[in-house]
Structures are given as C-alpha cells and as structure tokens.
Structure 1
Amino acid sequence: MASSPDMSDLIAQNLAAIRHRIAQACEKAGRAEADVSLVAVSKFHPIESVEAALKAGQRVFGENRVQEAASKFPQLRDHFPDLRLHIIGGLQTNKALEACQIADMIESLDRPSLSDAIKKAAQKAGRLPELLIQVNTGDEPQKSGIPREEADAFIETSLKKFGPKIRGLMCIPPENEDPASHFRFLRRTGDRHGLPVLSMGMSADFETAIAENATLVRVGSAIFGSRPVPQS
C-alpha cells in the first residue's frame, strides 16, 4: 500500500499549495483559517494516493461512489483513526446502508426518497452520519440536488426528521455562470435555517466560495493530479 517517494512528495507539495491558497483567501475575506476545512476529493485515485495525503496531514476526504470508498477507507482507518470520509456524489437509495456504515458525512441528501432510505439505513446500521442537503442552485436537470424553490421546505422536513445531524448545505454551481451568486444563495439559505456548514467551491472557484462563507471546500485534481480512467 506504500506510495512511491515521488508521488508522496508531489501530493504533499500540492496539499501545501492548496492550504496556502486557502489561508490567503481567508485572510482576504477577514475569516479565520480554522473555519475552512479542505475536503480532498480522492475519487478514482488509488489507495496509495490517499495514504500519501494522510501522511502529509490531510484528514478529510471526499468520494463520489460508495463502493469505491468502501474499498479504500476501512483499512486506512486502522492506521489513521481520525480520518473523515465524506460521500459527495449523488447517492442511490440502495447504497444508503453502506453509506451509513462507512461515511462520517453524506453531503448529497437531495430528495425525499433518499431521506427515507437514509432513515431506515441508519436504524439498521446503528449509526447516522452527519448530513448536508445538496441544493441544485442552477436548477440544472442533469444535476443532483433539491430545486431552489423546494429547498426551504425540504430543509424544514429534513430537520424534523434528522435533527442536528443536518449540519448544512452543499452546491455545485453551473459551469458557465459566475459561481458567486450561487454561493451567496446557499449562504443565505443556510442562514435562514441556522445551518453552520456550507460545502461549496472546488479547484477553480474555492477562493470565491471562501469569500461567501464556505466552511468546506472540495479539491481533487489540484491535489492528486488528473483522474485515472475509472474502472468499469
């Protein structure tokens, strides 16, 4: 499971560069650096790359697919018990049980059927991860997320169902639009419901997200390099 020295050094250097950019963005926004956590998006990257990031001090990771996450993280927890795993991709209802078993946070709660599935899965698993509600701020038909107009009602229902396990909101703005207005919408929505966690901003726009009060930023290729072609 050991990574090559060259790969380990590169990942450590990339992490240091991203952390420096986060620190600069926080300073510019008048925020404390400790208020923003980096989620290293390790989807499609091998366990050796994750281990290299762990050895460089990174502790929070994001995976899109539950099956892939399950192949990496349980064994890594034996050596790094303080790591945190976030499921950040669209979650199928039939994967809810496995997600509840292995994840520390599910960032992609986005519909009533998934809410019901997570509730049942958590009872069976005996544990419920923290939850973020994904809002489709651009109302894009190809993207996951609760539509903007339905967000407030879904948040209220989810808070009644899950209580303080609903920690906040997540979004992925449209690629060809200014992300700031989408981040601002998410922040205002979170404020209305007293939700402290905002997962928004990726490699290309996390500084903008930090200026709009992001507390989690998701960065993948800038840390691990270009994604390998996923195995079918």
Structure 2
Amino acid sequence: MSDLIAQNLISGNLAAIRHRIAQACEKAGRAEADVSLVAVSKFHPIESVEAALNAGQHLFGENRVQEAASKFPELRQRWPDLRLHIIGGLQTNKAAEACQIADMIESLDRPSLSDSIEKGAQKAGRLPELLVQVNTGDEPQKSGVPREEADAFIEASLERFGPKIRGLMCIPPEGEDPTPHFRLLRQMGHRHGLPVLSMGMSADFEKAIAENATLVRVGTAIFGSRPAPQS
C-alpha cells in the first residue's frame, strides 16, 4: 500500500470514528469535547502513526512498552503535543521505562506494580498519570484488580499517588453485553471522585459513551487489522 493510500485510508477512518463519537455524545446529551479518542497503534508501523498524526490525531495507546519505545520518542521530536498511553498489562520490570515514555499508564492493578511505578518514577524523574484497571468480569486470564478488591485498591492508590490517580479503566468480557460493566466502572469512579473513565473499543464505544466514558480506545477501526506481532 502506498503512503498516500495509507494516509487517505487512516484519515478517512479517523473522520468516521470522530463522527460516530459526536453522534454518540449528542445522543447521550454530552459535550463532544468531554470524550477523547485514544488511537491504539499496537503492532502497526510508525508510518501508520505518522499518517494519524498528519490527520490531526495526537493521543495514542500502546500495549507493550518495548514497542512504544521504538516508535514514540522519535515522533515526539516532530509532534511535541503527542500523548502516549500504555494500555496493556504492565510487567513490573517495564515500569521504569513506562514512566520514562508514557503520559498515562492505564493498567495499574496490583500493589507490586504500584511499588515498581513508584521506584520507576523516582528513576525517571517523572510520574505519568495513572488509571486503575478493574477486571469487571473477574476473568482469570485478564489483567485488572478483581471487583471485590477494587475499592480498597483505589483508596490505597489515591493515598499513595494522590492526584496522579485520574480514573479507572476496564475491558468487558468478550461476548457479553458491555453496558453493565461500563455502568459498574462509572459508579465506582463516581464513588471515589475520579473523573476519567477509559472504556469502550471499536465495537462498543458508543455504549461506553452513553455510560460516561471520557476515553475510548479504538484501533482496528482506524488502522485496520493488526499485522502479526514481531518476535
């Protein structure tokens, strides 16, 4: 695919997603400015990220710290207002590097990771904003703090990190109606006075917006099917 075709495709996809976000906000009686689009660029090449940047998208999400580190430091030199979120499950040995390169870590979910982030932030000289990831479906294969432990972990995280804890994130179980999971996260965020809710992806972000999502994470609908990850 030529660079021009890729640019036009990604630009068109972004325009379509922004239109759907605007429609969902209007339907929910919300301001469009209250919802930010996180373009999930995992496994996609730097050229695809550049195409999105050229189309006016400046907020991106990556699952793996190593992949993010290979793309975004170079891009920041040309687009200083670029923002990067780490959205995948974070290993403790990657916390220091995540603190170095990310503007937000969306996947804080256990005390050992809190320890590593605190140490990593001291080493990096900066602490990104943080979201607590809640495993709303209590799925054993997924990252996220279990539901029954979430309130206590959020309180401990607020005590430890203060205003750097900005909100909550979830990934509902596949094949289930996501709305009860979004609603649970909304209620939990309200209980703790947290303004940011990262929920909703390509297939269900309109439902998330109806439940007060402030960040929606969209990848495939912008960049197309993901290439196989490089080993």
After TM superposition, the score normalised by the length of structure 2 is 0.99
Match of 2:67 in 1: 68
Match of 2:201 in 1: 202
After superposition, where does 1:17-96 map in structure 2 within 5 Å? 17-96=16-95
SS in structure 1 opposite 2:78? coil
Distance 1:99 1:210 in 2: 28
Match of 1:99 in 2: 98
Question: Cα RMSD between the aligned structures?
Answer: 0.6
Amino acid at match of 2:163: P
Give the Å deviation of 1:211: 0.1
Match of 1:187 in 2: 186
SS in structure 2 opposite 1:134? strand
Amino acid at match of 2:61: G
Distance 2:72 2:166 in 1: 22
Distance 1:16 1:221 in 2: 14
Give the Å deviation of 1:124: 1.0
Amino acid at match of 1:83: L
Match of 2:116 in 1: 117
Match of 2:131 in 1: 132
Moved over 2 A (4+): none
Give the Å deviation of 1:73: 0.2
Distance 1:188 1:131 in 2: 19
Distance 1:70 1:116 in 2: 22
Matched, 1:165 2:170: no
Amino acid at match of 2:20: R
Matched, 1:9 2:31: no
Give the Å deviation of 1:177: 1.1
Q: Percent identity?
A: 85
Alignment length, in residue pairs?
Answer: 230
Match of 1:214 in 2: 213
Give the Å deviation of 1:210: 0.0
Distance 2:146 2:58 in 1: 31
Cα deviations by residue, 1:84-142 (Å, 9 ceiling, x for unpaired)? 00000000000000000000000000001001100111011100000000000000000
SS in structure 2 opposite 1:78? helix
Amino acid at match of 1:117: S
- Unaligned 5+ segments in structure 2 are none
Distance 2:193 2:82 in 1: 27
Distance 1:104 1:219 in 2: 18
Cα deviations by residue, 1:187-210 (Å, 9 ceiling, x for unpaired)? 000000000000000000000000
